[in-house]
Structure 1
Amino acid sequence: MTTEVLLVEDDPILREALAQTLDLAGYRVHAAGSFVASKDLISAGFPGIIVTDIRMPGRDGFHLLDYARGQDGELPVILLTGEGDIPMAVRAMQEGAFDFLEKPCDPKTLLAAVERAARMRGLVMENRALKRRLTRGDHAARMIPGKSLVAQAYRDRLRAVAAAGQPVLVTGPDGANTPKVADVIRRLAGREGQGFERRVSYGLGPSDLAAAFGAVETGTLFLDEIASLPADTQFALLERLEAGSPALVIAGSYRDLAAVPGFNTDLRLQLDAVRVDIPALRDRVEDIPDLFLYYVADIAERSRVPVPAVPDGYLADLMARDWPGNARALMNEATQFVLGLEDPGAEEGLSLAEHMAQVEKTLLVRALQRSGGQASRAAADLRLPRKTFYDKLARHGLRPESFR
């Protein structure tokens, strides 16, 4: 898709020359001679980037920058001036300008800055589009992405189970993320705003179970790895369920309860009446790209970093893997992809110093991503002196401009 550039310059001759440079480089140019002339386009949700002169009659480029950032905090604005000085450049960066260039500006310098801004803007717009797509429909549609027949049947099963209002058993292979499915069910069941307790079944005594029920009241109690629930607590849970608990009880297990020695048969039958089996990734390979992008968008939002561009062939490579770790393994892959890092714990045989170096690099990368490649902000974020910060960047081969 062609990137749009709003060019604001009061000198008509220079405006035409800059517009021609951008047009020949393949950008779609909107030219304006003042802040007033550009205001309507910005307020309409401009999807591109802005290149504006600072010195203009009436409201200057700083006014335009402030207005644009007020409309869209992630809208890149490149400032141009023929009277540049250090204080003005510092002010530009402090007020959120993407870049600051002096006129007359060499075409290569201008295009390089525009290209960096366009690349960042493209990632932002892709992230927004992905979020819009993933927030359509009910909780099952939003939280369980995928177009396969397996995914559709899976979502339908979740809706039916939630509507039943009965205790639910959620099973699946290792790494299937039963807590996530429990969360989807409770939301579909209309108990999102009510109490929610997640308890690990191992070592959970009858008094602990009673306390958990008291905490959730009419909300949801999720008992993780129900196969590990002690025998006396199994009996206490069965009594609760037979009496008709006002709370929605969801039990998760990666093991077949029928094959667990000593597990209470009546409790198993009570739970097994309404059951959800989470499909393995190998059974819904065509959904892996949607699942991966869903995790990437979620992780990027929580990490406050832009969604990185997915290289050609990357999703195909993911689909070619076996994924014995299922959803959790795919989530780990997405986390490493978003942060641009290998998992520090994935490499065996590293010394403590090598592990610590990987952790340090992780923190540096995150700071640079949060600051959009602005070294001074990243250093301040990490509370490091500027020289120390640059020494660490050099040691790890990191360049701030790579994050802009």
Structure 2
Amino acid sequence: MTQRVLLVDDDAAVREALAQTLELNDIAATVTGSFIEAKDHISRAFPGVILSDIRMPGRDGFHLLDFTRSVDSDLPVVLLTGEGDIPMAVRAMGEGAFDFLEKPCAPTDLVAVLRRALDARQAVLRDRAERRRTEEGDAASRLIFGLSDRSEALRAAVRAAGRADTEALVISPPGGGVSKVAEALHLCAPRANGPFVKAAARGLTPDAIDAGLAGAEGGSLFLDDIGALGADGQVHLADVLERGATARVIAGAGEALEAEVGAGGFSADLYYRLNVMTVRIPPLAERPEDIPELFRRYVAQAAEQSGQPAPEVTPAVIAGLMARDWPGNARALMTEAMRFVLGVGEGPDGAADMGLAEQMAQVERSLLVNALTRHKGQASETARALKLPRKTFYDKLARYGLKPETYR
């Protein structure tokens, strides 16, 4: 969705100058000269910000602010004030304006305020879309979070595996949330109203497997870490599946399971019986754009669990999170969110113990990750967008251990 600024000013010369400033800074603008012209553009779905003069004939900037807040109280309004209008602008801030700028304002100041407002608007619209998706959607939408293409592909794979209603294998990196994905898979299946029984595969005896299947009759038995199932259990489970189980079996495993089959460490017979449908959970390193949304969600959950107020997740915090690799994936991010809420440790940005060079490197890595994500791992496009010579770009990738193919 294209973000834009709705510009409202009755002075044609001012409108033209402001519109040119926005255009030069790659900010799309809709230009209007009055409240009457502007109000038809304002809605809860408006993907941007209102920039309005206070003093206008007829209905002024205060009328526009009141109208905007009646339509959507989260739609930012930035007001432009004349030299003698500062008290009015302060009053407007008290009534809900996002910010105000005194005319004539420096282009850099104008653009900085508008970008902050646009970021705030984007966050509101993103959160609303996520709430709609989780509240109105199916189990895959309610249980599997993330706005990236890879997260959407994961939800699609879960829905497909759910509809198939056969045995399934969920391959997950460490801490990837395999249990939630398995539950979503169960709830997307025709047997969703049946029980969902979870058991750790390590140490399960044939009798325990039978008990688990009996408890999940008509539903699904999820066996976590299937690679740790003993040899007797593997033989027994393969035999049960051959004869026809009374419950669907969903198995969770790490990426190494296929190699264990090839090396003879895991039953090939059982592997191929389980691997009718395969769902792979992408690691956070492959979908870093999901990190801000996931962290904010985990912070809210941690605050509720601990009874603590949720601290503000600032851009600096997000930059620190994005600069990390997260080998522990969702589980590690959850732990970080709880520590953040409890105020223990150095905080997600780690800035407290960093010198300037380390902090700058952290920011640079984050910018590289964001650009690679935006351009889907296309190295030449990413280098061009960052205005970096090809050699410099690849030198920086090597310095931070980044591989373009990870983001495709």
TM-score by length of 1: 0.54
> Is the alpha carbon distance of 1:239 and 1:102 closer, same or farther for their aligned partners in structure 2, counting shifts above 3 Å?
closer
Residue 101 of structure 2: aligned partner: 101
Residue 4 of structure 2: aligned partner: 4
Contact 1:141/1:155 (CA < 8 Å) preserved in 2? no
Could you tell me how far 1:8 is from its partner in structure 2? 0.8
Q: Secondary structure at the residue paired with 1:42? A: coil
Could you tell me how far 1:240 is from its partner in structure 2? 3.9
Q: Secondary structure at the residue paired with 2:93? A: helix
Q: Distance between the aligned counterparts of 1:157 and 1:298, measured in 2?
A: 24
Q: Distance between the aligned counterparts of 1:14 and 1:173, measured in 2?
A: 55
TM-score by length of 2: 0.53
> Is the alpha carbon distance of 1:263 and 1:93 closer, same or farther for their aligned partners in structure 2, counting shifts above 3 Å?
same
The two structures, once aligned, show a CA RMSD in angstroms of: 5.6
Could you tell me how far 1:61 is from its partner in structure 2? 1.5
> Is the alpha carbon distance of 1:31 and 1:224 closer, same or farther for their aligned partners in structure 2, counting shifts above 3 Å?
same
Aligned ranges for residues 1-400 of structure 1 at < 5 Å?
4-43=4-43, 45-82=45-82, 83-86=84-87, 88-121=88-121, 139-140=139-140, 143=144, 155=158, 158-159=161-162, 163-164=165-166, 174-189=174-189, 219-225=194-200, 227=202, 234=208, 237=211, 240-241=214-215, 245=217, 248-254=219-225, 256=227, 258-259=229-230, 269=240, 274-278=248-252, 280=254, 288=284, 291-294=287-290, 296-301=292-297, 303=299, 318=325, 323=327, 325=328, 327-329=330-332, 344=345
Amino acid at match of 1:43: S
> Is the alpha carbon distance of 1:91 and 1:190 closer, same or farther for their aligned partners in structure 2, counting shifts above 3 Å?
farther
Could you tell me how far 1:28 is from its partner in structure 2? 3.1
> Is the alpha carbon distance of 1:127 and 1:34 closer, same or farther for their aligned partners in structure 2, counting shifts above 3 Å?
same
Could you tell me how far 1:49 is from its partner in structure 2? 2.0
> Is the alpha carbon distance of 1:281 and 1:329 closer, same or farther for their aligned partners in structure 2, counting shifts above 3 Å?
farther
Name structure 1 gaps, 5 residues minimum. Answer: 193-217, 348-353, 356-404
Q: Distance between the aligned counterparts of 2:204 and 2:77, measured in 1?
A: 58
Contact 1:146/1:290 (CA < 8 Å) preserved in 2? no
Q: Secondary structure at the residue paired with 2:222? A: strand
> Is the alpha carbon distance of 1:277 and 1:156 closer, same or farther for their aligned partners in structure 2, counting shifts above 3 Å?
farther
Q: Distance between the aligned counterparts of 1:43 and 1:146, measured in 2?
A: 27
> Is the alpha carbon distance of 1:134 and 1:13 closer, same or farther for their aligned partners in structure 2, counting shifts above 3 Å?
same
Could you tell me how far 1:115 is from its partner in structure 2? 3.6
Q: Distance between the aligned counterparts of 1:140 and 1:225, measured in 2?
A: 23
Amino acid at match of 1:254: D
Could you tell me how far 1:180 is from its partner in structure 2? 0.5
Residue 376 of structure 1: aligned partner: none
Amino acid at match of 2:85: G
How many residue pairs get aligned? The number is 307
Could you tell me how far 1:6 is from its partner in structure 2? 1.7
> Is the alpha carbon distance of 1:84 and 1:239 closer, same or farther for their aligned partners in structure 2, counting shifts above 3 Å?
closer
Amino acid at match of 1:9: D
> Is the alpha carbon distance of 1:52 and 1:253 closer, same or farther for their aligned partners in structure 2, counting shifts above 3 Å?
same
Q: Distance between the aligned counterparts of 2:213 and 2:155, measured in 1?
A: 35
Could you tell me how far 1:120 is from its partner in structure 2? 3.9
Contact 1:178/1:252 (CA < 8 Å) preserved in 2? no
Could you tell me how far 1:25 is from its partner in structure 2? 4.0
Residue 400 of structure 2: aligned partner: none
Residue 367 of structure 1: aligned partner: none
> Is the alpha carbon distance of 1:80 and 1:57 closer, same or farther for their aligned partners in structure 2, counting shifts above 3 Å?
same
Amino acid at match of 1:276: I
Contact 1:292/1:330 (CA < 8 Å) preserved in 2? no
Q: Distance between the aligned counterparts of 1:253 and 1:78, measured in 2?
A: 52
Note the alpha carbon deviations across 1:111-147, whole angstroms, 9 max, x for none.
3322433444455567778899999996558838776
Could you tell me how far 1:79 is from its partner in structure 2? 0.9
Note the alpha carbon deviations across 1:18-45, whole angstroms, 9 max, x for none.
3344344443332212111011222384
Q: Distance between the aligned counterparts of 2:173 and 2:15, measured in 1?
A: 62
Q: Secondary structure at the residue paired with 2:198? A: strand
Could you tell me how far 1:344 is from its partner in structure 2? 2.7
